[in-house]
Amino acid sequence: MKLMLSYIRRHIGKFLTALLFLSMETAADLLQPTYMSFIVDNGVKAKDTGKILEYGAIMLAIAAMGALGAVMRNIYATKTSQQIGKEMRLDIYKKIQTLSFENIDRLQPSSIITRITNDVTQIQMFINGTMRIMLKAPVTCLGALILIIWRTPGLIPMIVVILIISGFLIAGNMRLGYPRFHRMQKRLDRLNQVSREFLSAIRVVKAFRAEEEEEEKFRQAAEGLAAAGVSAMRVMAVFGPLINLTVNAGIVALLWISTIQPPAEIGRLMASINYMTQVLFALGMVSHILNSAVRALASSRRVEEVLQEEPAQINHHGELEIRGNIVFDNVSFTYAGSAAPALENISFQAHAGEAIGIIGPTGSGKSTLVNLVPRFYDATSGRILIDGMDIRLIDMNILRKQIAVAPQKALLFTGTIADNLRWGDEEAAMEDIQRAAEIACAAEFIAETEYGYDTLLGQEGVNLSGGQKQRLSIARALLRKPKILILDDCTSALDATTEANVLQGLQREMTDMTVLLISQRISTVMKADRILCLEDGKVQGFGTHEELLAGCSAYQAIYNSQIGQGWKDRTYAGKAGAVYE
Amino acid sequence: MSRVTAPPPVMGGRMRRGMPVEKPKDIKRTLSRLWQMTKGSRKGLGWILLLSGLASGSAVLGPYLIGKTVSLIDERSPAALMLWLLTAAYLGDWLVHFLQQYLMAAAGQRMVYQIRTNLFNYMKTLPLGFFDKRQHGELMSRLTNDVDNISNTISGSLTQLIMYAFTITGVFIVMVLMNLLLTAVSMLSVVLIYLLTKTITRHTRKLFRQQQQILGRLNGHVEESISGLTMVKAFSQEEAMIEEFIENNDRYCEVAVKAQIWSGYLMPITNVINNLNYVLIAIASGIMASKGSLAVGTITSFLLYSRQFSRPFVNIANIYNTFLTAVAGAERIFEILDEEPEPEDVPDPVELTRPRGEIIFQNVTFGYLPGQTVLNNIGLHIPAGTRVAVVGPTGAGKTTLINLLTRFYDVDEGAILLDGHDLRQYRMKDLREAFGVVLQDTSLFGVSIRENISYGRSDIPFEKIKKAAVISGADSFIRRLPQGYDTVLTQGGAELSQGERQLLSIARAVLMDAPIMILDEATSSVDTVTEQHIRKAMLTITEGRTSFIIAHRLSTIRDSDLIVLIKDGRIAEMGSHEQLMRQNGDYALMYKTQMGLV
């Protein structure tokens, strides 16, 4: 509720203008029965046609005023509520961009998507409703009641009773409705999650003929949502008609009282009945709108959850020129929700301009280790220093500006090839882009596409092979001209020749960059200045290829698995070469 | 009006000059299809209809009784009977409304459920090309937002619509019986409301459709930027992403404002027409009563009726508008339902139970986009039980070959034969069951490790799952997890390293125990020690089975029976490792490069 108010406050001018026009519209509605009673009491009873026409003209004028109010109210209310919805979406979106992965992991991506669209829409609908009916209903209600009391004061006790009962009913509706709508939104999350998983795993689903399982999963999610929906709607079904009944009881009571003490002027009684029906419709609207009010409350709670999420990392601002000295000082890291540490007491140093190869078995923590450098996550204990400074004290934007990452799974976005490469450097000239593409051995296949650098990519674009995506992702990283370059096994889908070409190009480029190079291939890491060998999140060895080969058993094992046979082949290839030379 | 063969525009009406003419989609057809989709969830609809009729009955009865009572009070006559009747009418009204809404809650949700599952079930039969071309978030928006729009209409408006139809008829009859002239005055407002609705909906339909489209795009952008958040952050692209979001967000807001304002005109203006009507009746009946030709009670009744008569029209106009949002949503849903599904099985398919695995590529040509061939005239004969390795530069078409084999896509020209029959002659289901596939994309699900391995099949004994994990080399890391095989991948596998994800994918394929194995870059992120174990295990598994391996680490594929080198969509070299090394062509060069021999 506080959340909605804070947004409304930003547009208080427009909001109040809308309410002003709304009151105009409502007043017009309210005045009609009173003038009607004048027609009956002063015109009809007195058989005065002139009076009838006079009051009729006034009523027409009032109707015109109401029309003006309604049209203006519509324009203002719509603009304001849409503006608020727009700002709310943007705020959530901006917030997501500042959150760390720890936050995102906790909130669940598919839930965030539901919140930014569906939940905001619910709130927006409610705020719009507030300005058109929500306020009109109570105002009509209040106005009608005042007019009834003014014209027939004897009815006060009865009206008080009706209001108290209605109040209780409305409160009960809210109480029972809120948790049900909250549950409904949660089930919607689940539905989104299932469909998102299905869409991103579509190849596996088809290959394993798991369509029926996915169907069942979706069916359950949809059924869960429907069940929650039924239970929420049924609350409305119970309370809505009850409120109507209460007001109808009021009308009966009003007539009953009138039979006992017949009023002096029948016009007054007619007006009162008319007003009672207006109260009836107003309260009917209230119970109808409660639907969206309760829903909006449940949604606004969920939006607040995102907006109140504290980024798990603190950011210090300040200027800094990085040379690229990296020190891991006794660093340990455990993922949130996991018991075992992913990294344990890691210590090593990379000098500026040095290339460090990182090798180790699957799941040994290689990617985790490099993810700590651009602060995707913060170390659980120990420190990481860049140029002697704890990275937690460096402005995150400045830090990341000096680091470029080419990840294992190349992520490209909807847009052209050039758009995707420009991520590295927005102002990059076309020549720079082409050069980066050449170094990454991507220029050739880009040239082969129909539109070259303007070819559309991403979910809506053409099919790129895994290796082509990786090369684009390397080019993107290079375009950044970083001080620290992280290559996270980003050549795994490249054929050997292309990989060799890419690595050669990189070596030429890498002269003043510190490089962290993860690979499974000994032949790749061998080219680094020094190699860090990891196993189970611990450092097994750190040194040059020769040093490790001599003193690190883990490294030897990897070496033997690859080059060991290579030795055999070397002799074989030698022979083969001899035959053909 | 002159019209050619084109179906008459449902919205009808004259097209004003200078107005852009949006080609009307067929609303009637959309609605009738929607109706078809709800088949099976219409149970109880009869009751709801009956209750709606009763509800409108009580709506007609109320004012009539009130009017009578007022007349009696005016004449100072006893009115107790009328009041009892009124009380009874209201109690009935309450009961009927309660029952109707209570039943409608279930009926409405059931219909939505049905539409939603129908849509999903259809979606899953669509070919891969459909999914490759679309943003996931956009499709998600159709499954949720668009279906929701229909839901709101069905549960909210449909019964009201029915009720109003009854009310209008009932009130009209009573009004005619009471006074013909005043009824004629009331009809004036109906005509006005009709004209107004027609004008307004002409605008809103188009706008609502745009609104849903942009909402889908917005959803797509959000999904994409959350999925790719690592890169967004790594490249500090937050600003650019926000800018793009703002662009979509602004556009959405702009269209939504237009749509809302247009549809928002309806309520107040009809309300005004209503008030106008009220005034006209007040004047007319006032004059008539003053001349003594009308009882005062009749004025009361008539005023109440005139409200009741035009109110349904106001609401129908309004409902019609919400209806249009629903139609916009429904049209987007039917867009998917109109997509061509994966080709149906041929009328009498060839039975396929554990094929031997002889595969022949006959002059296969294929391209994802028209005019851009990826594979060109591929001819290849693979005897049953051959271990085939496919190598070649990236983008040469290796994965495409696999896509064709599993019929993710169908060949453009030529044919692929399995055991002597064209792939298209088998049932799709049988065919895909013949392949055990490990794909480049390692997709895991938010369930336990165990369920991830046995994905696609239930009732697999744990021993088998465990055995598959041991063979694939996944067992050791799984056992190190806090809950072992029961560990739930709450983040859909994001918590595992790429190599571990690959191991699970391999275990999944091993468990499938299919006659033909396909491994597309299955071990690219796995360390070489583990990879060696896998390879050894694979050798035993693939013994006697046809298998395809795509790999860049040539050490992985050395002991294949047949190595096929694909380059630029053609087969460049083919033969055993020894033969190709002797040829000293591209393969030999690649191999030497990788072994660090050049």
Domain co-membership, B300 together with B369: no
Whether the pLDDT of residue A413 is over 60: the answer is yes
What pLDDT, on a 0 to 100 scale, did the predictor assign at position B575?
92
> Measured between CA atoms, how close is B28 to chain A, in angstroms?
27
Is position B515 within any domain? no
Domain co-membership, B74 together with B103: yes
In this structure, what CATH number is given to the domain that contains residue B84?
Answer: 1.20.1560.10
Taking the Cβ of residue A317 and every Cβ of chain B, the question of whether any pair is shorter than 8 Å is answered with no
**A23-69 tens-digit pLDDT:** 888 888 778 777 877 877 777 777 777 887 888 788 888 888 888 88
Q: Which residue bears the tokens 């239970």? A: A231
Is position B69 within any domain? yes
Asked if B124 lies within 8 A of A251 by C-beta distance, the reply is no
Q: Are A466 and B397 in contact (CB under 8 A)?
A: no
Is position B366 within any domain? yes
Reading the block at residue B454, the tokens are 């046995």
Task: Report the 3 state secondary structure along B397-465.
Answer: CHHHHHHHHCCCCCCCEEEEEECCEEHHHECHHHHHHCEEEECCCCCCCCCEHHHHHCCCCCCCCHHHH
Taking the Cβ of residue A241 and every Cβ of chain B, the question of whether any pair is shorter than 8 Å is answered with yes
Q: Are B391 and B346 in contact (CB under 8 A)?
A: no
**B445-468 tens-digit pLDDT:** 878 899 889 887 778 899 999 999
The secondary element (H helix, E strand) that includes residue B68 is helix B45-74
Reading the block at residue B29, the tokens are 């057809």
Domain co-membership, B69 together with B144: yes
What distance in Å separates the CA atoms of residue B297 and residue A258, rounded to the nearest whole number?
A: 14
Is position B369 within any domain? yes
**Regions of chain B where pLDDT drops below 70:** 1-26, 40-41, 152, 154-159, 310, 491-492, 596-598
Asked if B499 lies within 8 A of A363 by C-beta distance, the reply is yes
Which residues in chain A have Cβ-Cβ distances shorter than 8 Å to B215? 117
Q: Which of B303, B368, B394 sits opposite A467 (nearest CB)?
A: B394
Whether the pLDDT of residue A441 is over 70: the answer is yes
Taking the Cβ of residue A261 and every Cβ of chain B, the question of whether any pair is shorter than 8 Å is answered with no
Q: Which residue bears the tokens 């990617």? A: A367
Note down the domain range covering B588. 356-434+556-598
> Measured between CA atoms, how close is A497 to chain B, in angstroms?
6
Whether the pLDDT of residue A319 is over 70: the answer is no
Exposure string over B182-216, b if 16+ CB within 10 A, otherwise e: bbebbeebbebbeebbeebbbbbbbbbbbbbbbbb
Q: Which of B70, B137, B496 sits opposite A113 (nearest CB)?
A: B137
Mean pLDDT of A557-563: 79
φ and ψ at residue A406, rounded to 5 degrees? -115, 105
Asked if A230 lies within 8 A of B106 by C-beta distance, the reply is yes
Number of compact structural domains in chain B: 2
Domain co-membership, B166 together with B68: yes
Which residues in chain B have Cβ-Cβ distances shorter than 8 Å to A458? 135, 224
Taking the Cβ of residue B134 and every Cβ of chain A, the question of whether any pair is shorter than 8 Å is answered with yes
Is position B328 within any domain? yes
**A250-292 tens-digit pLDDT:** 888 888 887 777 766 777 777 777 777 777 777 777 766 776 7
What pLDDT, on a 0 to 100 scale, did the predictor assign at position B154?
66
Q: Which of B87, B104, B290 sits opposite A43 (nearest CB)?
A: B290
Task: Given the cut 0.85, state whether the ipTM is greater than it.
Answer: no
Domain co-membership, B299 together with B413: no
What distance in Å separates the CA atoms of residue B451 and residue B458, rounded to the nearest whole number?
A: 8
Q: Are B403 and B128 in contact (CB under 8 A)?
A: yes
What pLDDT, on a 0 to 100 scale, did the predictor assign at position A531?
93
Fold of A2-308: ABC transporter transmembrane region fold (1.20.1560)
Taking the Cβ of residue A34 and every Cβ of chain B, the question of whether any pair is shorter than 8 Å is answered with no
Q: Are B594 and A523 in contact (CB under 8 A)?
A: yes
What distance in Å separates the CA atoms of residue B104 and residue A230, rounded to the nearest whole number?
A: 9
C-alpha dist (Å) from residue B158 to A158, B155, B315: 36, 6, 12
Which residues in chain B have Cβ-Cβ distances shorter than 8 Å to A579? 582
Report CA torsion sign: A242, A243, A246, A250. Answer: negative
> Measured between CA atoms, how close is B318 to chain A, in angstroms?
14
Taking the Cβ of residue B186 and every Cβ of chain A, the question of whether any pair is shorter than 8 Å is answered with no
Q: Is A549 exposed, middle or buried (0-12, 13-18, 19+ CB in 10 A)?
A: middle
> Measured between CA atoms, how close is B2 to chain A, in angstroms?
37
CB-based contacts of A72: which residues, under 8 Å, 6+ apart? A17, A21
User: B570-575 and A514-518: which strand pairing?
Assistant: unpaired
In the three-class reduction of DSSP (H, G, I as helix; E, B as strand; rest coil), residue B17 is classed as coil
Asked if A576 lies within 8 A of B581 by C-beta distance, the reply is yes
Domain co-membership, B200 together with B328: yes
Exposure string over B381-409, b if 16+ CB within 10 A, otherwise e: ebebbbbbbbbbbbbbbbbbbbbbbbbbb
Taking the Cβ of residue A458 and every Cβ of chain B, the question of whether any pair is shorter than 8 Å is answered with yes
More confident residue, A351 or B174: A351
φ and ψ at residue A72, rounded to 5 degrees? -65, -40
What pLDDT, on a 0 to 100 scale, did the predictor assign at position A348?
92
> Measured between CA atoms, how close is A240 to chain B, in angstroms?
8
Asked if B291 lies within 8 A of A227 by C-beta distance, the reply is no
What pLDDT, on a 0 to 100 scale, did the predictor assign at position B330?
82
What distance in Å separates the CA atoms of residue A343 and residue B81, rounded to the nearest whole number?
A: 87
Mean pLDDT of A128-150: 75
Chain B interface mutation, best of A22, A25, A44, highest count of B Cβ atoms under 10 Å: A44
What distance in Å separates the CA atoms of residue B21 and residue B470, rounded to the nearest whole number?
A: 66
Domain co-membership, B311 together with B426: no
Which residues in chain A have Cβ-Cβ distances shorter than 8 Å to B440? 466, 493
Domain co-membership, B216 together with B293: yes
Is position B539 within any domain? no
Mark which residues 483-542 of B lie under 8 Å from A by CB.
490-492, 494-500, 502-503, 505, 508, 512, 521, 524-532
In the three-class reduction of DSSP (H, G, I as helix; E, B as strand; rest coil), residue B481 is classed as coil
Mark which residues 278-307 of B lie under 8 Å from A by CB.
278-279, 282-283, 286-287, 289-291, 296, 299-300, 303-304, 307
Q: What DSSP character marks residue A334? A: -
Taking the Cβ of residue A233 and every Cβ of chain B, the question of whether any pair is shorter than 8 Å is answered with yes
Q: Which of B234, B278, B525 sits opposite A408 (nearest CB)?
A: B525
> Measured between CA atoms, how close is A2 to chain B, in angstroms?
23
Which residues in chain B have Cβ-Cβ distances shorter than 8 Å to A43? 286, 290
Domain co-membership, B222 together with B250: yes
Mark which residues 2-61 of B lie under 8 Å from A by CB.
none
Contacts across the A-B interface (CB distance below 8 Å): 530
Which residue of chain A comes nearest to B241, CA vs CA?
A97
In this structure, what CATH number is given to the domain that contains residue B594?
Answer: 3.40.50.300
Which residues in chain B have Cβ-Cβ distances shorter than 8 Å to A450? 372
Asked if A93 lies within 8 A of B245 by C-beta distance, the reply is yes
Taking the Cβ of residue B152 and every Cβ of chain A, the question of whether any pair is shorter than 8 Å is answered with no
Taking the Cβ of residue A36 and every Cβ of chain B, the question of whether any pair is shorter than 8 Å is answered with yes
Domain co-membership, B379 together with B323: no
Q: Are B11 and B24 in contact (CB under 8 A)?
A: yes
Q: Are B357 and B546 in contact (CB under 8 A)?
A: yes
Is position B19 within any domain? no
Q: Which of A62, A340, A526 sits opposite B480 (nearest CB)?
A: A340
Residues paired with A235 in a beta bridge: none
What pLDDT, on a 0 to 100 scale, did the predictor assign at position B433?
84
Taking the Cβ of residue B196 and every Cβ of chain A, the question of whether any pair is shorter than 8 Å is answered with no
Whether the pLDDT of residue A394 is over 90: the answer is no
> Measured between CA atoms, how close is A498 to chain B, in angstroms?
7
Domain co-membership, B284 together with B396: no
Mean pLDDT of A465-477: 86
What sections of A309-378 are H helices per DSSP?
Answer: 366-372
Fold of A326-549: Rossmann fold (3.40.50)
Is position B427 within any domain? yes
Asked if A404 lies within 8 A of B234 by C-beta distance, the reply is yes
Q: What DSSP character marks residue A564? A: I
Domain co-membership, B409 together with B304: no
Q: Which of A405, A520, A580 sits opposite B525 (nearest CB)?
A: A520
Which residues in chain B have Cβ-Cβ distances shorter than 8 Å to A364? 527
Average pLDDT over chain A, rounded to an integer? 81
Domain map of chain A by residue range?
A: 2-308, 326-549
